[in-house]
Structure 1
Amino acid sequence: MQANSASGMAVHDDCKLKFLELKAKRNHRFIVFKIDEKIQQVAVEKIGSPTSTYQEFTNSLPANECRYAVFDFDFTTDENCQKSKIFFIAWAPDTSRVRSKMLYASSKDRFKRELDGIQVELQATDPSEMSLDIVKGRAL
């Protein structure tokens, strides 16, 4: 576990471990990460099985609280090639607390650097900003 001198945020080893499993073994479809504000640490909150849908992923994000998440998105290109891209999603709904939004925003880049292999970043403040169409558009 390493602390970030700038924001004091630590990243639980499990975050990197689960991300590596998603990236290398593809045994998770998504991971939702939560900052525990009391101990200033990012930890794994929820994991989606390989068969999870994008809808199940979006449903797992709380309506009024910030989260980080990664989603392994499978798609078919115009040339009919099967591909996948790992999305990093910074979820910060307008209804979440200002302090929480600031904490997630200030820790995001540091946390994202811990997850080596992210291909696309998306920031969303409401579900429409991370609709499947937007994700597909960003993946291509």
Structure 2
Amino acid sequence: METREAAERFVRVWRRAWAGHDVDALLELYAEDCVHRSMPFRAPHRGRGELGAYLRWSFAAERVTDVRFSAPVVGADGVAVAEFRVLSEEDGAPATLAGCVFVRFDAAGLAVESRDYWHTVEGHLEPEGSLFFG
């Protein structure tokens, strides 16, 4: 699968599945032996099992009201990046999560490595100066 096709599928499924907390749909995007880094200084989640546990934990206290992903920017060697924003309520309080995901895909179009950089703030806010959302 071409990287652009894999990346577009990745953001399309993440947009829908994050909104519905559909962990199974998300895990289908990843290779069995994937490595996902959810924060720069956290230990990586290795394999679908660890990634699934992390996602279920992440979604537990969250009620999503809006999920947006930019169109992916595709680079060389099966790598793509996309920006995301999620408006939610966490423990009843409005919150905004904004960040980027970097993904490397294998020839089958599965994510073999991914890394997120993100930040949350209280309230529903629109970050200024986005490269991808304008």
Q: Same fold (TM over 0.5)?
A: no
Structure with the bigger RCO (C-alpha within 8 Å, sep 6+) is 2
More strand by share: 2
More helix by share: 1
Normalising by structure 1, report the TM-score: 0.27
Normalising by structure 2, report the TM-score: 0.28
